Structure 1
Amino acid sequence: MKPFVDPLCPESLLQFIWLSGRFNMEGLATVSGEPLEIIHPGQLNRHAGPDFSAAQIRIGPLLWAGNVEVHYRSSDWRRHGHQYNPLYDRVILHVVFEHDGPEIGIPVLELQPRIPKFLLRRYRALMDSADELPCSRLLARVPDGLWEQWQTRLTAQRMERKAAVFTGWLQQTRANWEEVCLRAVASCFGMPVNTEAFRTLIAATPFSVMARQRHSLFGLEALLFGQAGLLPEHPADDYPRRLLDEYRFLRRKYQLMPMAPHDWHWLRMRPSSFPTMRVACLAALLHKEPHLFSAMLDRPGARELAALFTAAPSGYWDNHYRFDVPSVRTAAMGRQSVQALLVNAVGPLLHAYGAWLRNGALQERGMALWRALEPEDNRIMRGWRKEAVIARSAAGSQGLTELRQQYCDEKKCLECRVGKELLGFEGGVNGRVGEAAWQGWDGEGEEDDW
């Protein structure tokens, strides 16, 4: 058996080649010489077992229906132990890039001499690219229509991904949308580095206890700062001393367990993003709107929602960023922070609630909110702008974020419409779509070499 080497055509690529018919189909035959006709390549199986199910293959005079397994070499069948696995008993065809024997009693189709070499070069160029975006030098040549369709789909995919998180919280809260809303909003108060810390804070603080304190901003601050572990043990200022006394009372009354102070991050962030400032702003918001989710549903547009989620903390924070450390001037959550909350919490919450109620209009409100907001300005968006890819709204920037995080960073080019376009998979069976974009990529021609 040959030693394993990094394959020229990995199985993921071979699966796409098989499914799309991106190989020379003239005179197909098994390695033993039997004529072969592909009636249907089957359906890709993402679970345990053979790679494709429900395939229909004519081999010689017989029409077979069953499964298809794909490997780089035919010897991989034994190397993977498929001969001992009953899930592979209904395999009717073994599709391989390179046939290295021996026969195992299942017809084998070797694709190596039938796959265009330029396709393998394209794929290898994308996988070996050191650029943050593997296809960055080719993006300008992708058709505008494809870009628009793909970004629309990515935006919807991003919305569904975010909304699914909130839907999952429903089981933990016994379908309490007010509590789900609080969790979502608090997570955004910690963005980007203290998201998990804020989630821990809300998980450690019973929702019913917070509800009892919402009539008093002082009570909410005492509860949240105490549960966050952010109150100093020996405060110098009068205000944190009174907060500490109040929290000790609340802790005994409700048998609370605070977080560890080291769960919070402080380095390399603006003072307005310090955990103390964000906890103070969260307390102010919960005091301002005792029923935040209901108030959110009543606000029709982006401007009204932005006003809803803007709340000034108590007076102590007019000249402090941290307890006992005076500051000449302070600033609470700014416009960009509120927009991030609308994008990451409010829009997906509306979508998730609409899906839960099976209310399409409410779901669309979440997407309409994204379209009404300005595009985000962050590291990912700055990277796209370098490639002359511009988002015109938060919907566009969320779609591009989805593309970068779920496809580009993972080099899932075979699952990306742009990647498949450049590789030629979007042009139909044996198409050559995207070929012009590769001229000059590696100095090689694009001759039709098989």
Structure 2
Amino acid sequence: MNFSEDFLHYVWQFCSFDHHKLKTADGEELKILHQGFLNKNAGPDFSNAKIIIGETLWAGNVEIHIKSSDWLNHNHQVDKSYDNVILHVVFENDIEIKRIDGSVLPVLVLKDRIARDLIEKYETLFLTLTDFPCIAQIGTVDQIHIDSFLSRTLIERFEQKTELVIATLNELNGNWDETFYRFMARNFGFKVNALPFELLAKTVPQQIYGKHKNNPLQIEALVFGSAGFLNDQFEDDYPLSLKKEFQFLQKKYAIKPLEVSIWKFMRMRPQNFPTIRLAQFAALIIKENHLFSKMMEISNVAELQLLLNDLPVHHYWKTHYHFKKPADGVGIQIGKTSANNILLNTVALFLFAYGKHTGTHLYISRSVKLLENLPAEQNAITDKFTSAGVVMDNAFASQGILQLKKHYCDQKKCLFCGIGIKILKQA
């Protein structure tokens, strides 16, 4: 048979086997009152089980193996934490097992009690070579059940991301504004240039921009100069002005510019060039210097979207994608999709993280509401699930899908997935 112990855990946990006239391997009558609780830590597999063997009521732990000899292979015979195991559940009983005190351990053999179609369903999920194990079956699961599990995976995803936020927060001595600024900067890189943007944020802390909030040209000079784009020779007035301002600011703040070579332009649409993104980033800083507190104050989704619209991007970029490279009809505002990406990956995350860290459920609720009001992401992963029959109405669902794919589907954890369990239970 092609299955692991996890499959037998599932079978025992959900009582997915034939209960008719249960007996131990020694022929004693067996009745299961409670199968116990799955233990994900060290020790026996299930705790606090209650069973009747013969006429005796037993309460304790249950250990599960493919073969009874696995008890010896795992060295349980010398581990006192297994002394209170009251039942050994196995697929095959190939050897008699005794406790440390010499008493024979009762055994329940499941080999002839698990339905063949259940094993086949399990093998179909785990042996599939498609994009995700249940690609052919997920469309048969009620959407309500899928949504319920996606709620769990979404929370898992944001809790994991919150750990990264808190780690940065601790590094910055509890400064939420600076932490938010770093994550916002990285988000502006949109994966391809995420690292250069993050390095830029570390090179020029937000508080430096605050000292020049009334001088847009100096803020733009700090952004482009620190990013490494002002080390060239220019003829146009705008880059010449930026370079002059930055030469003064660089000395004042001892700024070491990034190497311009780290910025990626290849295979990108001009609207996504890092120069355009940097111009938009500078404009956002000019528009709102205290980004974190501002976005934490706003509860209306439309207002949050408005904050990222109509940025005061310098008019130079209407006719340029890059310094010294003129162009016509350049779109200088952040597109709707990009704005939603920032709201999803930075604002919603920080609402959740701040709520978790401070114990303020209001912010967590606002994070969820924001995700529910943002459109679902469209990418290679979500498209596969949509094609398989999953409905994704908003970013809450699509974020849940991304977590599902990475931490359940890709790792073949169908037996820990509410959707996979539902498929196995279906007649």
Instruction: Indicate the SS of the match to 2:137.
Output: helix
Rate the CA distance shift 1:72–1:262 in 2: closer, same or farther, 3 A. farther
CA contact 2:229–2:260 (8 Å) conserved in 1: no
Aligned equivalent of 2:233, options 232, 235, 259: 235
The one-letter code sitting in structure 2 at the alignment partner of 1:416 is C
Task: Quote the offset at 1:266 in angstroms.
Answer: 3.0
- Given the two structures, how large is their TM-score scaled by the length of structure 1? 0.82
Tell me what 2:421 maps to: 420
1:390 & 1:330 partners in 2: Cα distance?
36
1:17 & 1:392 partners in 2: Cα distance?
34
Rate the CA distance shift 1:12–1:231 in 2: closer, same or farther, 3 A. same
CA contact 1:74–1:99 (8 Å) conserved in 2: yes
1:214 & 1:20 partners in 2: Cα distance?
62
Alignment of 1:115-130 (within 5 A): 115-130=114-129
> More deviation in 155-164 or 402-411?
155-164
Unaligned runs of 5+ in 2: 100-104
The one-letter code sitting in structure 2 at the alignment partner of 1:386 is S
The one-letter code sitting in structure 2 at the alignment partner of 1:231 is F
Instruction: Say how many residue pairs are matched.
Output: 419
CA contact 1:55–1:67 (8 Å) conserved in 2: yes
The one-letter code sitting in structure 2 at the alignment partner of 1:287 is I
CA contact 2:44–2:61 (8 Å) conserved in 1: yes
- Given the two structures, how large is their TM-score scaled by the length of structure 2? 0.86
CA contact 1:22–1:115 (8 Å) conserved in 2: yes
Task: Quote the offset at 1:142 in angstroms.
Answer: 1.8
2:65 & 2:257 partners in 1: Cα distance?
54
2:303 & 2:296 partners in 1: Cα distance?
11
2:357 & 2:52 partners in 1: Cα distance?
47
2:57 & 2:30 partners in 1: Cα distance?
10
1:125 & 1:375 partners in 2: Cα distance?
29
2:2 & 2:307 partners in 1: Cα distance?
56
Task: Kindly provide the CA deviation profile for residues 209-253 of structure 1, in whole angstroms up to 9, marking residues without a partner as x.
Answer: 34334443333333333443x325433345445545544544444
2:202 & 2:81 partners in 1: Cα distance?
43
Instruction: Indicate the SS of the match to 1:114.
Output: coil
2:89 & 2:202 partners in 1: Cα distance?
51
Tell me what 1:314 maps to: 314
Tell me what 2:287 maps to: 288
1:406 & 1:86 partners in 2: Cα distance?
34
Matched, 1:338 2:332: no
Tell me what 2:44 maps to: 50
2:205 & 2:83 partners in 1: Cα distance?
54
Rate the CA distance shift 1:237–1:423 in 2: closer, same or farther, 3 A. farther
> More deviation in 267-276 or 154-163?
154-163
Task: Quote the offset at 1:122 in angstroms.
Answer: 0.1
Instruction: Indicate the SS of the match to 1:67.
Output: strand
Instruction: Indicate the SS of the match to 2:295.
Output: helix
CA contact 1:232–1:323 (8 Å) conserved in 2: no
Tell me what 2:409 maps to: 408
The one-letter code sitting in structure 2 at the alignment partner of 1:314 is H
Task: Quote the offset at 1:189 in angstroms.
Answer: 0.8
CA contact 1:217–1:314 (8 Å) conserved in 2: no
Tell me what 1:366 maps to: 367
Alignment of 1:25-104 (within 5 A): 25-104=19-98
CA contact 1:235–1:324 (8 Å) conserved in 2: no
CA contact 1:231–1:244 (8 Å) conserved in 2: no
Rate the CA distance shift 1:302–1:237 in 2: closer, same or farther, 3 A. farther
Task: Kindly provide the CA deviation profile for residues 370-416 of structure 1, in whole angstroms up to 9, marking residues without a partner as x.
Answer: 22223322223322332233322233333333333333333322222
Tell me what 2:102 maps to: none
Matched, 1:388 2:393: no
Task: Kindly provide the CA deviation profile for residues 309-342 of structure 1, in whole angstroms up to 9, marking residues without a partner as x.
Answer: 2324223322222333332332232111001111
Task: Quote the offset at 1:144 in angstroms.
Answer: 3.8
2:356 & 2:106 partners in 1: Cα distance?
47
Alignment of 1:143-154 (within 5 A): 143-154=142-153
CA contact 2:275–2:322 (8 Å) conserved in 1: yes
Tell me what 1:441 maps to: none
2:359 & 2:16 partners in 1: Cα distance?
41
1:36 & 1:264 partners in 2: Cα distance?
68
Tell me what 1:22 maps to: 16
The one-letter code sitting in structure 2 at the alignment partner of 1:398 is Q
Larger relative contact order (Cα-Cα within 8 Å, sequence gap ≥ 6)? 1
The one-letter code sitting in structure 1 at the alignment partner of 2:75 is G
CA contact 1:319–1:326 (8 Å) conserved in 2: yes
CA contact 1:147–1:418 (8 Å) conserved in 2: yes
Instruction: Indicate the SS of the match to 1:350.
Output: helix
1:71 & 1:271 partners in 2: Cα distance?
58
Task: Quote the offset at 1:287 in angstroms.
Answer: 1.4
Task: Quote the offset at 1:285 in angstroms.
Answer: 0.5
Indicate the RMSD between aligned Cα atoms, in angstroms.
2.8
Unaligned runs of 5+ in 1: 1-6, 425-433, 436-450
2:122 & 2:161 partners in 1: Cα distance?
31
